[in-house]
Structure 1
Amino acid sequence: MMITTTPAIPTLVQQKLDAFERLQPEFEACFQLVQDVHGQQRFASFPVALTVRYLHSLWICEHKSRLLSVFQTIKEYEGKTCLELLRHWQGDENTADVVAFLQHKLDMLPFANLTRQVQAARYTRTNDGLASRLTHGRAILLNRGINLMMALDALFALPQEELLQQVRTACEQYGHTPDQIARQLQEEDSPLYTYVPHQMLAQRNMRVMNALGVSVLRKPADLPGQRTWRVVPSTEPLSPFAEQVVSGYLDLTAPWHNNLKADRFVDRPEQSNSGTV
């Protein structure tokens, strides 16, 4: 009788799982906001508090990546940079760095190149859905660009004193006063947020992100539909890999069978009336 035992979870891994359990509701809301700002939604207005919340959300998303040791996205969200921006925005009145960061995150808009691809797909490909997918992607980029302009418009429209007051109020609301930021930056160096790859952490991350993927990509254009030529369904039975038919090939199975030219050759010993060939 075979007895299976469940391997013990290391203490640090369990602490990471417990910490993420407490963070998960806020992470899900923040992840949704980041996706919306990046083009899934076009905001009618983008007040200063929403810019602060966007920076806060990026930090929370990085927090999740550190807790679950997702190496690929730890640096993608630039959460530590967001904390530094919020600290200097409140203390040094440094709005320029925030503007530069927003441009860095949101101003990636190759509209001309994408429009050329749409035109090429419409004229060279038919009924494969590529043009519609490219058009949908261009609309997402357009939303991202409009969100950037709305955010900058809100920052530039206010007098400096009123802008800083709104920033400080929003930072207090989301838990990023200067003293809190100092503690949060210090916590980044604690063992809880170190990179510790483990099967349990990977499984937890996959379950969470699979559920969020369904939630975020719920618009009709994101759902399965007419496929592009890049993902055409396979046809079965599949042909042999690297099959190549040589022209003029004759399948000769034995020296005295199917030998139309009566060529003499030997591939293996074979018995005939006159002896072994």
Structure 2
Amino acid sequence: MEETATTERLVKQKLAVFDRLQTEFEECFRYIQDVHGQQRFSTFSVSDAVHYLHALWICECKDRLLSIYKNFRRYEGRHCLELLQGWQEGEIANVVDFLYRKLDMLPVADITRQLHQALYHDNDKDLARRLEHGRLILLNRGMNLMHVLDAIFALKEDQIVKEAQFACMQYGHHPSQIAEQIAMMDTPLYSFIPHRVLAQRNMMLMNKMGANVMSKPADQPGQRSWRVLEPTEPLSPFAEHVIEGYLELTSPLSNNIKGHRFIDRPEHSETLDM
């Protein structure tokens, strides 16, 4: 009982902290989606790169507060804090390596081959339209990477560090604050505590965020491939597979293949036999 009460108190604390974080999380989540290709930025400064690392950390805080199992590393928030700390001390190469790993274009050649197959062999215009949209997202992502690398490489190292320090101050990542933020992530408040209320809060939140992200014209019903068309009602059983030529045989006549004459004999009662 005492352990249950402790868990309930911790869950309430997690929800209270997330209530204060939710608005910033929603902004950061949308920003990450934009950087990952939903938007093509015309410029991407050092400050924007700091914003991106900050947003990844905020999203990991959300995952930890709402106890999202096994997904702590998808945003690499702790690593982002370490990168911001090192950046302010002059370690630039690690930041470049991280940005390149996160934003490097996925192989668009494969999508181009699939697009050609859909257009000229399968005659699947809906799938082709989705592939074109996906390829554009990847291209936006690659362009954003080139913009941020251009912004970093255009400056002298001391200028890069100064801009990073100024941006980190704006987003609350002074070196002394970063040390506290890293230590905070090791507290029970940010530990994994599976609980129905936390899971429900996360599902409601991400349903809302997912709807916002998928509100682009290309993602609307009618513009998608056949894989996400509305189902036909009523739905058939999941494991049903009708064999060609199958006949349902349930009556005695149908099951009497050899045509034997038989009758259903009455069962003998033990009482009558006695």
Question: Normalised by the size of structure 1, how large is the TM-score?
Answer: 0.86
Among candidates 174, 183, 186, match of residue 186 of structure 1: 183
1:243 aligned counterpart, secondary structure: coil
- Provide closer, same or farther for how the CA distance between residues 198 and 262 of structure 1 changes in structure 2, counting only shifts above 3 A: closer
Rounded to whole Å, the distance in 2 between the matches of 1:56 and 1:37 is: 13
Q: Deviation at 1:21?
A: 0.3
Q: Which residue of 2 aligns with 1:13?
A: 11
Q: Which residue of 1 aligns with 2:126?
A: 129
Task: Output one character per residue of 1:109-154: Cα deviation in whole Å (capped at 9) or x when no partner.
Answer: 2110110011111123335611101110110000000000000000
Among candidates 164, 172, 176, match of residue 173 of structure 2: 176
Q: Which residue of 1 aligns with 2:71?
A: 73
Q: Which residue of 1 aligns with 2:243?
A: 244
Q: Deviation at 1:219?
A: 1.3
In the alignment of these two chains, the number of paired residues is 260
Q: Which residue of 2 aligns with 1:83?
A: 81
Contact 1:68–1:201 at 8 Å: present in 2 too? Answer: yes
Extract unaligned runs of 5+ from structure 2.
267-274
Matched, 1:152 2:141: no
Letter in 2 for 1:199: R
Rounded to whole Å, the distance in 2 between the matches of 1:225 and 1:72 is: 35
Contact 1:49–1:166 at 8 Å: present in 2 too? Answer: yes
The CA RMSD over aligned residues, in Å, is: 2.5
Contact 1:16–1:192 at 8 Å: present in 2 too? Answer: yes
Over the matched positions of the two proteins, sequence identity in percent amounts to 52
Q: Which residue of 2 aligns with 1:220?
A: 217
Contact 1:106–1:144 at 8 Å: present in 2 too? Answer: yes
Contact 2:118–2:124 at 8 Å: present in 1 too? Answer: no
Q: Deviation at 1:224?
A: 1.8
Rounded to whole Å, the distance in 2 between the matches of 1:56 and 1:239 is: 47
Higher helix share: 2
Rounded to whole Å, the distance in 2 between the matches of 1:21 and 1:239 is: 42
Task: Output one character per residue of 1:193-249: Cα deviation in whole Å (capped at 9) or x when no partner.
Answer: 0000111111111111111122222210122223422234444455671221447x6
Extract unaligned runs of 5+ from structure 1.
1-6, 272-277
Task: Output one character per residue of 1:68-90: Cα deviation in whole Å (capped at 9) or x when no partner.
Answer: 10124321000000000011111
Q: Deviation at 1:264?
A: 2.2
Contact 1:128–1:227 at 8 Å: present in 2 too? Answer: no
Letter in 2 for 1:33: Y
1:74 aligned counterpart, secondary structure: coil
2:71 aligned counterpart, secondary structure: helix
- Provide closer, same or farther for how the CA distance between residues 208 and 238 of structure 1 changes in structure 2, counting only shifts above 3 A: closer
1:196 aligned counterpart, secondary structure: coil
